Amino acid sequence: MSRLATRFGQLKSQQRKALVSYVMAGDPHPQVTVPLLHQMVEAGVDVIELGLPFSDPMADGPVIALAAERALAGGTNTLDALNMVKEFRQKDQETPVVLMGYLNPVEVIGYEKFVAYANECGVDGILLVDLPPEEAQALDDVLKKYEMDQIFLLAPTSTDERIRHVVKQASGFIYYVSLKGVTGAATLDVSEAAARIQKIKAETDIPVGVGFGISDAASAKAMGGVADAVIVGSAFVKQFASLAPEQAVVETVNKVKELRAALDELV
């Protein structure tokens, strides 16, 4: 059983919701990332989503786009991000790690080489924002070879056909984008998200996580009430835009504790 399946199974048995945290690898410099991941897990993160720095992050709002710029400026590339997972695994063999990024760097490296090394480093799954399920079979074949999960996005605009297509191919969990727009957008409609998530869950037993726009205890608790996981990115990443790295880590860990406490109120 994969680390993702194990973790979601454990949480389900405890009637708890997963907190999935997005961190940009190498932001603001490479030495910050691995210690930050350990501290976030200790504070209550269940699944790590590690961003791969990319120069054209089309699905991301300004907060994460600037994080990618900082990471690239600090010298972090895709292989460096994989090596961060390898270092993380020296102390943590249990927390699932999913890579989130864009197709181009993976294609440049090559599917087989990329997935083989990601597996060696301890990666559990991959989500490529700009790889639609209709074009993902070649990567999926390689991922299955290494027993790694491929995670897909669904959105408020996803058709019934797209939902059926995704639930056939997805594993690990499904990432439901709660808003029309880029990461970091602000207006949540919980009732609409609940209806869409219910529709997805009617088609599959795969856990559904909801992201985009979750930034505080109230929004985490609201979305945690309708999904299996809440996925938080910009609320963590933005700390590094305005604070010294040491203080940004403290604020990020405090934010994890706030969100974890809110989700645990649902038990």
pLDDT single digits (tens) 70-95: 999 999 999 999 999 999 999 999 99
pLDDT at 184 over 60: no
Q: Number of C-alpha atoms within 13 angstroms, CB side, residue 210?
A: 31
- Selected catalytic residue, list 27, 49, 149, 228: 49
How far is Cα 235 from Cα 21, in angstroms, rounded to an integer? 10
Predicted pLDDT at 105: 95
Q: Using the 8-state DSSP alphabet, how is residue 53 labeled?
A: P
Cα separation values, 16 from 13, 175, 198, 202, 229, Å: 8, 18, 18, 20, 9
Cα separation values, 241 from 65, 167, 224, 234, 248, Å: 11, 36, 27, 11, 9
How far is Cα 210 from Cα 199, in angstroms, rounded to an integer? 14
Predicted pLDDT at 267: 83
| 49 tagged catalytic | yes
Mean pLDDT value across residues 7-15: 97
Mean pLDDT value across residues 135-141: 95
The residues pairing with 75 across neighbouring beta strands, listed in sequence order, are none
- pTM here is 0.95
Mean pLDDT value across residues 199-209: 95
Predicted pLDDT at 171: 95
Mean pLDDT value across residues 186-210: 88
Q: Using a pLDDT cut of 70, give the percent of the chain over it.
A: 97
Residues 6+ apart with CB under 8 A from 112: 142
Q: Which two tokens stand for residue 167?
A: 């639930």
Residues 6+ apart with CB under 8 A from 46: 7, 11, 18, 19, 20, 95, 96, 229
Q: Can you give the C-alpha Rg of the chain in angstroms?
A: 17
Mean pLDDT value across residues 24-39: 97
Query: Which amino acid does the sequence have at 254?
Result: N
Query: Which amino acid does the sequence have at 171?
Result: S
- Asked if 170 contacts 143 with a C-beta cutoff of 8 angstroms, the reply is no
pLDDT at 258 over 70: yes
Which H/E stretch holds residue 241? helix 239-242
Mean pLDDT value across residues 153-159: 92
Query: Which amino acid does the sequence have at 99?
Result: L
Mean pLDDT value across residues 51-63: 89
Q: How confident is the model at residue 180 (pLDDT cuts 50, 70, 90)?
A: low
Cis peptide before 28 (omega within 30 of 0): yes
Cα separation values, 170 from 36, 89, 236, 262, Å: 29, 25, 26, 28
Predicted pLDDT at 179: 73
Residues 6+ apart with CB under 8 A from 243: 251
How far is Cα 179 from Cα 177, in angstroms, rounded to an integer? 6
- Asked if 54 contacts 102 with a C-beta cutoff of 8 angstroms, the reply is yes
- Selected catalytic residue, list 27, 60, 124, 149: 60
| 60 tagged catalytic | yes
Predicted pLDDT at 186: 54
